[in-house]
Every structure is written in C-alpha cells, then in structure tokens.
Structure 1
Amino acid sequence: MSKEKPGIIRRFFRLLGGVFSLIRWLLNAVIAIVMVVLIINLFAQDAKPLPEKAALTLVPSGTLVEQRTFADPITQLMEQSSPYDAETPIHDLIESLDTAKNDKRVTALVLDLNHLQQAGLSKLQEVGQALERFRASGKPVIAYADTYDQSRYYLASFADEVYLNPMGGVLITGFGYYGTYLQEALDKLHINFHIFRAGTYKSAVEPFTRNSMSNAARENAASWLNDLWAAYTARVEQLRDLPPGFVERYVAELPESLATAGGDLARLALNKGLVDHLATRTELTEKLKSRVGVIDNDYAHIDHKTYLSHLRLPTLQPGKQTQPAIGVIVANGNIVDGPQPEGTIGSETLSNLLQRAREDSSLKALVLRIDSPGGSAFASEVIRNEISETQKIMPVYVSMGSMAASGGYWIAAGANQIWATPTTLTGSIGVFGLVPTFENSLEKLGIHSDGIGTTSIADMNRLDRPLSPQAAQILQLSVDNIYNRFLSLVAQGRESTIQSIEQVAEGRVWTGQQALERGLVDALGTLQDTIEGAAKAQNLEHWQVKHISRPLTFQEQFLKQLAGSAVSLPRWLGTDAWHRKLMNLLPTGEFAELISADARDPHNLYLKCLSCVAP
C-alpha cells in the first residue's frame, strides 16, 4: 500500500519552513562575510607599504569641516553611496601637507579638486597656507578639476600649474547672503510669532517678522561680505599674478567675454590666464606619468587618506609621552543643552571634555577651537563657566574657525587670548527670544482653547493660546537681562567697559580683521599659530599636542569600522538619492532647527547668528 501524501496545508508550512531556513542561512552567511571583511580591514588595511617615490594626491571632498559630524554607524552603513567622504576635516589636509613637504618619498603634489563641494573662506585660507608651505619646499604643485567653482579655484590658485578639462570652466560668482522671509506666509496661516530681542542688528528674527531684509541688516551684511570678497579677490590675483581688480572685472564682464569666446568657458579661462592648460583626464594622467613615474599603469601617487593612515600608525617615540602638552578641544556646531555627538556643541559633552583637560597634569595650556554660530543662551553660559573653572588650572586660548558668533563669542569672551583668521565671522553680540502661538490658525479650523488658571500667566507655555501681556513682558525683560550679562562678561573678558562694548555690539557681525581693529580678538592666525602662541607664552621649547575628544564606546568603534568596510545597501538598490531630492524641496530649516527638542533653550532665549554664513 502506497504511503499517504501529506496534505496541502502541511506541504505549505513545510515549504514556508524551508524558506525561513534559507533566509536564516543567507543572513548567517552575510554576517560571516562582513565579519571576515571587518577583520581583514582591521588588521591588513595598512599592510601595503608606501611607494619609494610618488606624488601625494590631495582629494578634499564634500564640505571642509573642523570635525566630522557624528553619524550612527548603522545609518552610515545603510546610506553610504559615494566612495568620497561627505566631510573632509581641514586638519587632515594640513597634516598631510606639512609632513609631505619634508618627506623624500613625496616628489610632487596633485590637487584633485573635483569632489570639493563647499568650504568657508577661513578654512580655504588655512589649507592655502599649508599649500604655500609645501610649495616652498621646491616640489611642484599641480591642480586639476573638470570645472572650478570659486572654492575650488581658490585652492587651485596656490598651484604652480592649473589644469582644466576642455569641457569645463571657471565660474566665480562672488559672495552673497540671501534669506527666506516668511511674514506674508505666516499671516496667511494666521500664525503669531512673538519676537523679543536686544540689538538693533540682531537680524536672526527678521525671517519671521518681515518680507525683506531690513536696512540695518543689509548695512551689516554688506560690511562683512565686502571684506570677505576683497580678501578672496586680492589673494587670487596675487597668486595668479593677475592685475588688481581683475577678478571683479572678470565676473562683471562674463556674459560679453563668454559670447566672444563662443560660449566656451574653458577657452575663456585659458585666454584670461585663470588656468595654464586644458587637458582631458586621460591627457592629464599621461602628463603626470611622464613627470612622476608609473605604478600599476597609473601615475605614481598615494592619496592623502592612505598617507595619513601610515603617518598615524602607532610608533614608539621615546620621551614624547613625558613632554609637556598643549591640549586641543574642538567645539563645532550649534550650541545646545545636554550631551551631544560631534557636529553639535552639547553643554554637557563639552563640559566633560574641559573637566578631562583639568585632570591632565601634562597640559600646560588649552586651545579651544570654536566654529559655531551660537545657539542656546543657557548652554553657552554652562560652557563659559566650565572654561572659567579650567582657567584656574591653566590658561585657555581660543582659536576661531569660520565663525564664532553670538553664543560662540559668549563662550570665547573670557579666554586668556582670542585668535581669529582675517575672514572669521564673529561678534553678533545680541540676544533674541522667539515664541509662536497658533490660536488664530486653530480657530480657522474650528478648534478653540478654553479653561481656567490660578494666575494670569498659567497658560504661558501653551502654544494654542494668545501670549498674555504679562508673559510678553517677562520674556522681554529676560532678553534684556541676558543682553546686559553679555555686555558685562565681554567687557570683563576684554578688559574694557560696557559702554565701549556697546559700540561694537547691538548684534553686529564682524570679520576677524574688523574684530581685531575693534578689540574683540587679540591676534590673527590659524589653529597652529594659536597652539604655537600658547606654547611660547608658557616658555615651552618642546611640546606635544593632545587632542581631547569624546571617547567612542566599543560598540561605536566596532560599527564605525564596519560602516567603513562595507558596501552601501541603498547603492545596490538605487534608492539613495530620492530623499535628497525631497529635502531640496523643503523651505529653510532655521525655524525647525530652533524649535527642535534638542536645540531648544530652557527659557527660549538664543545667542545665535542665523545670518552668519561661511561663503
């Protein structure tokens, strides 16, 4: 008698079990492969030796930053879609250049600028100074890009030779600041913004109260924009041996000049002396082969990231650990309360780093590198207090990056010395408060708020009710109080008077050069200049630099390494670009940034320069 066949339901579940077993096996296989890749990456990525003779290829990509923004490694693993980093720390570039200038293995420098997307002028200047130091070694510097915007071209101007793709061009447009103004839209939506501010030039609130820029804001923006533009054009003209005013005329006459060149931007750039050669990628590679040699059928080179990985291999350096040290802490991003990852200045996180610095007996001075437009008034004061405590143990020097404005200046004001670059944006000594209420919007929808409170301000924190006159008075008095505190602490830190500081306050933004002339900073220079100045002030002949940063947990280190070793899943699926396109459709995020849970000040009071941009 034949064996009875299983029923259809049993066969279905048996099939389903087999599918799940296959999926489980595949997942285990993927995990095993990833682990193998990770182990290989951990132990073998630096095994390949550096070539005996080669060019160093500097490949800045994405945005030039002081410090990489922290991203959850799992998110990185899911979202990576490019072989080039979204952010490039400028100090990686500077370290590579300053080491390579004396490295006999490095015979030339190739600047590959195709992947640089955004950079503040202050950061470009710091990298440019490192390029000058490298060039002084006598080794040739060659720059190349398929097309140059003004950030790329600024760095290219430091090269001995500038190459451009025949299909490209040099597009210099000048600097500008343009905001989105929402008053009419807010009126149509029946949203009431209650604004409280101290400082005539404190224009951060204007997008919510106007449809256009105020005369005061326009006057102040024109001042610092013109200073930055003058610094840019003068430096490019000097480096490229162009007559004064050339860049201004090139931009103004571009339509006519381009018409004469038949619309060929590359030929126009060559004719005007902005570039030295036109060459395709293949032609450039062949030229480089003939100049620096050939390795693996390409010109002999090593990219700066690989070069750095070799430089940073652990080596035994006798006596270095006993040398006195200058500590460096980077404070980069918006200032908010509580613990925050890299890319945001969290009051608790930065306070912990300052406490660690105080506990390090090898530190003779501390340099705080600030690159911030400000943020929460409360968080700024928490940080300033920790800096004051640190000064009881060692002197604290501030090095300003592209900007250290408003709350960024609040935390800097009491430092032993303040250094800025000529094009740093700083000042913005002013305060504002911002409270939206939606009672009229809700009323249009038929939604009403009613109730009873024991006092006239019991509903002060409700956004569905009108802001009472008493609540408005409380907020304005709080803003005035914070502004007076701001003036007082700046006057004390700068050894000046409140009356003198008032003359340069009122929310005005200054460049580093303007701030030096007005006594808001002590010296102009880079981070390296600040470190050397601190060491000299402490009479140190030999010292080491100690970077103090948030230690990663084991899980973060593991997942970060994994993210750097794996292939992006969205790139396989082709789904990595849709959300970027969607984000481009959204309006400016200034208000959303202010009211987000992480960015909120406990008292809705902000020391922030929303108009500060790094052209």
Structure 2
Amino acid sequence: MRYARIDLNGTYREIGAQTTGPLGVSLDKSFRLDHYLERVERIASTRSIRRVLVARGDRFSAPAFGALHEIRDGLLRIVAAGKEVVFYAPEYGAPEWYLASACTRRVLHPLGTVSFLGIARTGMFFRKLLEKLDIDVEVIRRGRYKSARDPFRTDRYDEYNREQLDALLAGVVDAMKQSVVESGVLTATQIEQMIAGRVVLAKEAEAEALVDVLATVDGIVAGWKTDRWKETPLKKVRGFYGKGARLRVLVFEGAVVDGENRRDPLLGQAIGDRSFTAAIRAVRDDKRAKAVVFRINSGGGSAVASENIVNELSRLAEKKPVVVSMGPVAGSGGYWIAMTGRRLFALPTSITGSIGVVTLFMNIAKLLARHGITTDTVKHGEYADFGSALRAMRPEEIAETDRVVDGLYREFLSRVAEFRGKTPEQIDKLGEGRVWLGNDALSVGLVDELGGLHDAIEYARDLIGKKKVRVKFGPSVKRSLVARLLTKRAAGVDSALLSISDANLTSPRAIARACRLIHGHAQFTDPILLAGGDFLRGPAE
C-alpha cells in the first residue's frame, strides 16, 4: 500500500522566482503552484497511491484567497480520483478549514486549537511621517476607489477604500463559509460561534467531532509505517506534466514595470516588459506549442509596460489560441494585460478590476531647506524641470498632469469597453479604480467565466481538439549548477534576510526608493499585492 505526501510550506507563488540575488541565488523559500499541480496530476494518475497526507507547515502563507482556491481545487481532484486525503495542521483557522473541507479526514496537533475568526486587512500609511519630514505630496488620480497612493495621500483608509475592502473581505469569508458548510465539516452555527470569538482546544475539538484525530505529523507517518504503508516520494519535479500536444502556461507574476525583471523593496518581484515580451516571442516562435494559457497574478504597475505586454500578447494570439486565466490578483495593469485571448477565466475570489489611473509627485524642497541644503537650476525652457521633486508644482503643471491622467483613464475605459462589448460609459460605472471579486466581476461582465487554472487549461485543450496535452509552465530563469546548489544550502538564511529587508518599509532608504519608483509615473496599479499586505498567513513561530 502506497501513500504520498504534500507539504504546504513557504510563501505561495505560481511559478519560480523571476529574479535572483547575488551569484544567481534565489532569495526565497516558496510554495509553487506549478510544482503542486504536477504532483496533483501524478498522484491522481498513479493507481498504487491510495492515500495522501497534506501537511500545512508553520511558514505557509498566501497573499490572497485565490491562492487557497487553487490548492483546494487540486485536493478535490485527488479525492475525485478515489484517494483518501488526510489534512494535518498544527492549528485550524479559517484558511485551514477551507482546505481541510476538501479532504476526507482531518488531523489536529494534540496541543493545537480550532477557530474561524475570519480575515483582516491592515494598511500602513506614511502621510504623517512625510509631514514631519516636510515632504509635500500631490496625488492626481481618476477613480474614487483608486487607492494605490493612499499610503502617501492619507493617514487611514478613506470611505471608498474601506467600502471596497469591506466588500472583498466579506465576499472571501462568505466563500469560505459556504465551501466548509457544503462539505459537511462544520455547520453554519458552529462557524458563527467561532467568528464571534470562540476558540476550541484540541481535546474539545476531538470530543465535538470537529476533527477526526489528534496527532503530530510524525505520529501520523509512524502509524502508517507500522501498518506497512510505504511512501512514494514526490520531491522530484520535471517541469511539466501530461502527455500529448504541447500546451504552454505563461505566467505573469509580480508588479508591471518598464525594462528588465528586478526585485524591489516596495513592490517585491517586478516583471519588466522587455523581459516578458521576449518570453512571449519565444512561445510564439515555438512550433511545438499548440496553445497558450496566459496566467496573471499581478496588481499592475506601469501603464506603458502594460501596453507593451498586451500588444505582444495580441501578436501571439494571431498565431495560436490564447486563453487568459486570472490568479489570486489581476487588477488595474493586471486587468489591462488580460484584455486579449479567446476566453477570460477568473477564480470566484480573484481580485480584479481597479480600472483607474494614479500618479504622485513629491516635493522635498522644505526638507532640504530645513537642513541648510539649497538648490539652483539652469534650464532652457520654462517647464524643463516639470515634475522636479526639488520644487512645488505650479497650478498649470497640475492641470496638465490631470489632463494626461484623464486621457489615460479614458483610453482604459475605451479598451475595456471594446474588449467586453460595452460602452465606455458602462465601464466607467464599473471603474473609478474599484476592485471586484471574480464572482462579482462575472455578474457585471468584466470576465467570461469562473474557473481556476485547470479549467483554463481544459478549455485551451478543447480549442485545439486534443484529448490529452503536455502542460509546461514558463518563463523560467536559468541558473548555473553553482547557483542551484547555493540556493539549496542557503534558502533558510536568504529568505530570512529577504523578509527583514522587505519588512523594513519605514527606513529612510526604503522611503527614498519608493519615492523614486512612483514619482511622476502614471500607474495602472492595485496595492493588494504590495509587500507587507498578506491577507492570509500561517501562525508565527
């Protein structure tokens, strides 16, 4: 008798890191969706594997709820293949209940607890800090809900941002509750009691049949070995799964920026249009690739880079069928680059929309003067220093920038209207920077169909008339053997250093970097995926 093991550990990613550190070493420990789906398909198709252990580790975290949806969808496919799936967690919260509800048995650590407290979103705002530093901020935007520069514009969530975040969180909690109740794991009454603050101890949870067994993960494995179960190792991944016609999954994951891929202290992984359009052209020129699923997990970014990417995708779609799949987040610029292909899929809880434009200018003249620093400018042309951070913007400059932002917004509305078969006026009512969950996006006509990545792959397979396909993910960053060995040896240290670096968003250096990044650039950006903004995270050690 054979069993397999799936460990949920690290920060959720859809694909391998597209940026590296010194010597090409990858800087983070991640849970990769592409590897997970390969393992799911292998387990489901291997007759000798009859049981699966799914163990949620201490460091597992997901940036948005859609990530859990994809994992749960894989677990359901394993169960549908006739396997017994045992879910283990050191403690159960709302995310764990959501995943466990797809499994056949649930195991809790003997000293763990059970709860369902919901989810929360906490923002960090720098407006008062900038005031103390004598830094003035001018935010120009189209869309009351366009909140990407709110950390610099205000000192708290304004009424519109609070309204949309409240709707998002309520929608996510409702989706979790519905799935858990429909599975029969918990009743609606039990969930409401936990949301009201009830925390259940391990022995109470077992007595109330909330979980099946109390055990450690090592105890589970030891018991199975005693019963002569043998593990089928799944650590090796090949980078593809299935047999048949070649189907490529092209993943865009990270902020949209101009130029090359890079890692940014504010945005995290940032994908450059130059790097990604090269990857698109490579897929277009690959004669073996018969269809493409374009997968998006991005909160947007540069307007120019977004346009360059969607243009290259349109050229790809002229040669091969392209299906678009929205991941956990596909908002603003992430929605712009989704406007291509034959079918647009979204998860029920994908965060999308955010049709709006925002730009920001900072003025540090008073800060410099306070420290005895003066500036002088020689220029040819009255507005040659337009947008300089060393002086305040003139009223006519603000008006001109507002005109440009308005023009970009009108272009955004027109593009979406054409793509969705609506009028710009209809899209404007759905725009103003407002974000939508996938369920709501479908009801207002912003997407074609609800479904995960597996559904999009199945749709693309049908487009080319094949029963079986070989699925390969990309792009991939090639690293030398030395880099791969160093990554394995130093993963823990590097990821720790990385988390410290990313978390230190209030340091003067990080703030200066953020100012340079966003100053004077028109952006199609949604803040959901910025560093430090996780919705769902495992318990801290």
Give, in whole Å, the separation in 2 of the partners of 1:78 and 1:412: 28
| Structure 1 pair 411–437 and aligned structure 2 pair: CA distance change class (3 A) | same
Give, in whole Å, the separation in 2 of the partners of 1:139 and 1:305: 19
| Structure 1 pair 61–122 and aligned structure 2 pair: CA distance change class (3 A) | same
| Structure 1 pair 239–501 and aligned structure 2 pair: CA distance change class (3 A) | same
One-letter code of the match for 1:118? S
After the TM superposition, which of the residue ranges 237-246 and 109-118 deviates more from structure 2?
237-246
SS at match of 1:59: strand
One-letter code of the match for 2:355? I
- Pairing 1:78-477 to 2, within 5 Å after superposition: 86-119=29-62, 120-254=64-198, 258=199, 265-281=201-217, 283-293=219-229, 300-306=230-236, 308=237, 324-340=245-261, 343-477=269-403
Structure with greater contact order relative to length (CA < 8 Å, sep ≥ 6): 2
Give, in whole Å, the separation in 2 of the partners of 1:605 and 1:115: 39
After the TM superposition, which of the residue ranges 513-522 and 579-588 deviates more from structure 2?
579-588
2:18–2:271 Cα contact (<8 Å) kept: no
Q: Normalising by the residue count of structure 1, what TM-score does the alignment of the two structures yield? A: 0.78
Tell me the alpha carbon deviations over residues 42-73 of structure 1, each in whole angstroms, 9 at most, x when there is no partner: xxxxxxxxxxx431011121112101224536
Question: What residue is the counterpart of 1:487 in the other structure?
Answer: 413
Question: What residue is the counterpart of 1:559 in the other structure?
Answer: 482
Instruction: Please tell me whether residue 595 in structure 1 is matched to residue 531 in structure 2.
Output: no
Give, in whole Å, the separation in 2 of the partners of 1:226 and 1:480: 32
One-letter code of the match for 1:278? L
Q: Give the number of aligned pairs.
A: 526
Give, in whole Å, the separation in 2 of the partners of 1:593 and 1:366: 40
One-letter code of the match for 1:276? D
| Structure 1 pair 550–145 and aligned structure 2 pair: CA distance change class (3 A) | closer
2:20–2:26 Cα contact (<8 Å) kept: no
Q: Aligned-pair distance for 1:414? A: 3.2
Q: Aligned-pair distance for 1:585? A: 5.5
Q: Percent same amino acid among aligned pairs?
A: 29
Give, in whole Å, the separation in 1 of the partners of 2:201 and 2:469: 50
| Structure 1 pair 581–523 and aligned structure 2 pair: CA distance change class (3 A) | closer
Tell me the alpha carbon deviations over residues 468-500 of structure 1, each in whole angstroms, 9 at most, x when there is no partner: 223222221111111111001111111211111
1:93–1:304 Cα contact (<8 Å) kept: no
Instruction: Please tell me whether residue 510 in structure 1 is matched to residue 446 in structure 2.
Output: no
Tell me the alpha carbon deviations over residues 290-314 of structure 1, each in whole angstroms, 9 at most, x when there is no partner: 4453xxxxxx3244324x45x979x
Q: Aligned-pair distance for 1:411? A: 0.8
Question: What residue is the counterpart of 2:425 in the other structure?
Answer: 499
Give, in whole Å, the separation in 1 of the partners of 2:499 and 2:81: 43
| Structure 1 pair 409–56 and aligned structure 2 pair: CA distance change class (3 A) | same
Give, in whole Å, the separation in 2 of the partners of 1:577 and 1:407: 30
SS at match of 2:391: coil
One-letter code of the match for 1:212? R
Q: Aligned-pair distance for 1:332? A: 0.5
SS at match of 2:235: helix
Report which of the two has the higher share of strand: 2
Give, in whole Å, the separation in 2 of the partners of 1:312 and 1:183: 47
| Structure 1 pair 184–111 and aligned structure 2 pair: CA distance change class (3 A) | same
Q: Which runs of 5+ in 1 are unaligned?
A: 1-52, 80-84, 259-263, 294-299
2:139–2:360 Cα contact (<8 Å) kept: yes
Give, in whole Å, the separation in 1 of the partners of 2:476 and 2:108: 42
Tell me the alpha carbon deviations over residues 155-178 of structure 1, each in whole angstroms, 9 at most, x when there is no partner: 223222211122121343312222
SS at match of 1:443: helix
| Structure 1 pair 115–91 and aligned structure 2 pair: CA distance change class (3 A) | farther
After the TM superposition, which of the residue ranges 276-285 and 216-225 deviates more from structure 2?
276-285
- Pairing 1:576-615 to 2, within 5 Å after superposition: 584=503, 586-587=505-506, 592=511, 595=514, 604-611=521-528, 614-615=535-536
One-letter code of the match for 1:446? G
| Structure 1 pair 576–336 and aligned structure 2 pair: CA distance change class (3 A) | closer
After the TM superposition, which of the residue ranges 386-395 and 424-433 deviates more from structure 2?
386-395
Give, in whole Å, the separation in 1 of the partners of 2:70 and 2:93: 18
| Structure 1 pair 227–358 and aligned structure 2 pair: CA distance change class (3 A) | same
Give, in whole Å, the separation in 2 of the partners of 1:443 and 1:132: 62
- Pairing 1:519-558 to 2, within 5 Å after superposition: 519-550=445-476, 552=478, 556-558=479-481
| Structure 1 pair 266–237 and aligned structure 2 pair: CA distance change class (3 A) | same
SS at match of 2:407: helix
Tell me the alpha carbon deviations over residues 125-159 of structure 1, each in whole angstroms, 9 at most, x when there is no partner: 22212212212233321122222343334322322
SS at match of 2:45: coil
Give, in whole Å, the separation in 1 of the partners of 2:250 and 2:157: 36
| Structure 1 pair 282–538 and aligned structure 2 pair: CA distance change class (3 A) | closer
One-letter code of the match for 1:63? T
2:8–2:31 Cα contact (<8 Å) kept: yes
Give, in whole Å, the separation in 2 of the partners of 1:286 and 1:363: 45
The higher radius of gyration belongs to 1
Question: What residue is the counterpart of 1:25 in the other structure?
Answer: none
| Structure 1 pair 443–245 and aligned structure 2 pair: CA distance change class (3 A) | farther
2:240–2:472 Cα contact (<8 Å) kept: no
Give, in whole Å, the separation in 2 of the partners of 1:69 and 1:551: 7
Give, in whole Å, the separation in 2 of the partners of 1:129 and 1:576: 28
Q: Which runs of 5+ in 2 are unaligned?
A: 264-268, 537-541
Give, in whole Å, the separation in 2 of the partners of 1:175 and 1:589: 31
1:457–1:470 Cα contact (<8 Å) kept: no
- Pairing 1:34-45 to 2, within 5 Å after superposition: none
Aligned-residue CA RMSD (Å):
3.0
2:24–2:480 Cα contact (<8 Å) kept: no
Give, in whole Å, the separation in 2 of the partners of 1:122 and 1:570: 26
Give, in whole Å, the separation in 2 of the partners of 1:380 and 1:541: 34
| Structure 1 pair 135–207 and aligned structure 2 pair: CA distance change class (3 A) | same
SS at match of 2:76: helix
SS at match of 1:370: strand
Question: What residue is the counterpart of 1:32 in the other structure?
Answer: none
Tell me the alpha carbon deviations over residues 573-599 of structure 1, each in whole angstroms, 9 at most, x when there is no partner: xx99678557645439998598376x5
Tell me the alpha carbon deviations over residues 543-591 of structure 1, each in whole angstroms, 9 at most, x when there is no partner: 4334342462xxx2323332255x44996xxx99678557645439998
